[in-house]
A and B are shown apart, each in its own frame.
Chain A
């Protein structure tokens, strides 16, 4: 379905179908003889939400780390439509350019907010840090933007100067979401963003994420083992098993009519109440 785009490496405007924001080609990562993920290829368009599902150990996180520039792959390419260089292999960029691109154009929401937040500085400073990284040197402006974003993620703005440890798990995750969206990224990676939260908090956070993603027109790659999260968030799904992609397709298609035996197992394993 993407054949016409495949022949055009440069991002082009004015096409009926948007050029890919991210293109992953034959991505393989092995740890010695242990395979993390193998021969993964897909494309992501601006504003699209892609879910990666599978059981633990299936290579979801390896894939996410390889795509997000944290883990150089053993083989294959990860190309991103950078604002400075166009569609470029991110591992072909030199390190300062890659770090700058990650800082300016990406966000990464970790499963554990402790991995994504600086626990020793206040929630407000955590949210404002991406602005400082982009060169903002005006305290008043950053403070105003931080308050606006705390409101958007439905946090009490009077608690702006509290340390992250004084917030509940769900609130910490909201701070992390605000921190990763304040600088206007084009692509956000989420690694089990609702893992470890109780169901009602999970539902509210998912609702919020869905709203923000839709309002901002963000492209998102979300890794989850929770089919309900995938159903709510993702437009498209990739089902992984043992490092291979076993099935891809529109979310509703995959969940309502799974073709691969493993997808069928995965869908039928969801607990009903």
Chain B
């Protein structure tokens, strides 16, 4: 790569945050990687978007991104939603990085709600935006108490939520933020990803970083870590399945979104991972509604 004329400036107070803040966040990331699943506190900063729009993920990305990174941002699996486009443009501007929609090309993927369908590789970093890092919070409101529970590995309470679910529905019905055990030590909320993606957390070659801006916590799953989704002996963990295939690309193994097409009940199921679906269609796969106008929306300029 040829040196750009502004090469020295590119590294100084780069990527929106000042150098001291980035050092602080990097220390928290290292701590989180050293203790998989542990919620490391950090001094979360004001970001130019409201809490709840991914401030934790943006700060993580800003702390680890460099000029030679290739950045991808997805929201609900799609590259072309408002939030994803805005955050991608933000980093294209403040970090001067190349952006992509190709999962395989990206070095940093910021995500909310999904893990890409395409397997991640060593060297990639997946950054999750987390609204509530504490899996026990819904059951125990006191932070002092939940911290003690993590410290002493008292996780019986988490099963109360599963018990409630089985009592009400006959099976474990919770589908997002499904609690996981990391290396049989720390209980971790996987952020609002569907439980469909939980099995991808374990033994993943990529680094998985989780940032909660409002709650001021960073946690991580290092590459090749054991991750177990909680369950009962008589109600084992299961992921979602669909009777339909993707209407556009015919994929049978991907996470599908249900899209209502009109007010007479017409609907279609499509891959939530827009890049995965587009790549499959480019490779010649076709579903029952291939060529539908929704497919034309995929190539949005970043």
Contact = CB atoms under 8 A, between A and B. Distances in A.
Interface stretch (A70-78, A81-89, A114-122, A211-219): A114-122
Interface string A115-154: 0001011101100110011110111101100000000000
Contact-residue bracket for chain B: 20 to 34
Contact of B232 (A99, A129, A139): A139
Nearest to B159: A132
B156 A96 contact: no
A143 B167 CA distance: 9
A122 B161 CA distance: 10
B156 A99 contact: no
B230 to A, nearest CB: 9
B281 to A, nearest CB: 43
A142 B163 contact: yes
Interface in B249-272: none
A132 B149 CA distance: 14
A139 B234 contact: yes
Contacts of B234: 138-140
A133 B156 contact: yes
Contacts of B163: 124-125, 128, 132, 139, 142
B200 to A, nearest CB: 24
Contacts of B161: 121
Candidate in B138, B161, B163, B166 with the most chain A CB atoms within 10 angstroms: B163
Interface residues of A, number: 25
Contacts of B166: 139
B46 to A, nearest CB: 32
B121 to A, nearest CB: 35
Given A95-B148, A124-B167, A118 B160 contact: yes
B233 to A, nearest CB: 5
Contact of B152 (A96, A128, A137): A96
Contact of B139 (A103, A118, A135): A118
Contact of B160 (A99, A100, A121, A140): A121
Candidate in B148, B160, B162 with the most chain A CB atoms within 10 angstroms: B160
B102 to A, nearest CB: 42
A260 B173 CA distance: 62
B30 interface: no
B236 to A, nearest CB: 11
Given A129-B160, A133-B154, A140-B234, A120 B168 contact: no
Candidate in A118, A125, A160 with the most chain B CB atoms within 10 angstroms: A125
Nearest to A139: B232
Contacts of A142: 163
Contacts of A99: 148, 152, 154
B164 A137 contact: no
A96 B147 CA distance: 12
Contacts of B235: 139
Interface of B: 138-139, 148, 151-152, 154, 156-157, 159-164, 166-168, 232-235
Instruction: Please name the 7 residue pairs, one residue from A and one from B, whose CB atoms are nearest each other, closest first.
Output: A133-B156, A132-B156, A96-B152, A132-B159, A139-B232, A138-B233, A125-B163
